């Protein structure tokens, strides 16, 4: 199996039914380069495994404790070192369901993710934040 196919399997399994922020981070960290860059709409870039845990996983699961993803499809690009994953994230925020579609581009080196750039409309997240603040 190729590095991209292996990582697609990791992505799918890690997002299927995470048991909270720390379990989620514990699952993904061995598959992340120590200096992984995380890029996403309207949120500052993050660098490193600790940022993944503290600035991505914990805030996401604090807002949406039952957050999970359904992967629809994935593909490889380049010399089998870039993964694209199309998926839907969903869960419950402030007592109401929330869902949004996303595509992540994951750059790989030696089987580890060196960069993840997520493409999605952040509107549903901001609506969930507004509800949770009310």
* Number of domains comprising the chain: 1
Provide the CATH number for the domain around residue 33: 3.10.450.50
Query: What's the pLDDT at 94?
Result: 86
Low-confidence ranges of the chain (pLDDT < 50): none
What digits encode the pLDDT tens for the residues 92-128? Answer: 998 889 999 999 999 999 999 999 999 999 887 778 7
Query: What's the pLDDT at 122?
Result: 86
Query: What's the pLDDT at 1?
Result: 56
Query: What's the pLDDT at 123?
Result: 84
Q: Which range marks the domain in which residue 59 is found? A: 3-133
pTM: 0.90
Query: What's the pLDDT at 36?
Result: 98
Q: What is d(CA 76, CA 80) in angstroms, rounded to the nearest whole number? A: 6
Query: What's the pLDDT at 2?
Result: 87
Query: What's the pLDDT at 127?
Result: 80
Name 86's Cβ contacts closer than 8 Å, sequence gap at least 6.
71, 72, 73, 74, 101, 102, 103
CA-to-CA dists, residue 58 to 7, 8, 63, 64, angstroms: 22, 23, 9, 10
């Amino acid at each position: 199996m190729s590095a991209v196919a292996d990582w697609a399997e990791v992505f799918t399994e890690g997002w299927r039914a995470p048991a909270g922020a720390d379990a989620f981070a514990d699952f993904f960290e061995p598959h992340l380069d120590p200096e992984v860059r995380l890029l996403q709409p309207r949120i500052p870039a993050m660098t490193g495994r600790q940022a993944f845990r503290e600035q991505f996983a914990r805030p996401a699961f604090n807002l949406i404790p039952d957050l999970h993803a359904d992967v629809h499809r994935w593909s490889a690009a380049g010399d089998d070192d870039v993964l694209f994953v199309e998926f839907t994230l969903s869960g419950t925020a402030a007592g109401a369901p929330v869902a949004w579609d996303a595509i992540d581009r994951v750059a790989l080196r030696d089987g580890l993710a060196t960069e993840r750039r997520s493409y999605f409309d952040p509107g549903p997240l901001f609506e969930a934040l507004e509800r949770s603040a009310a």
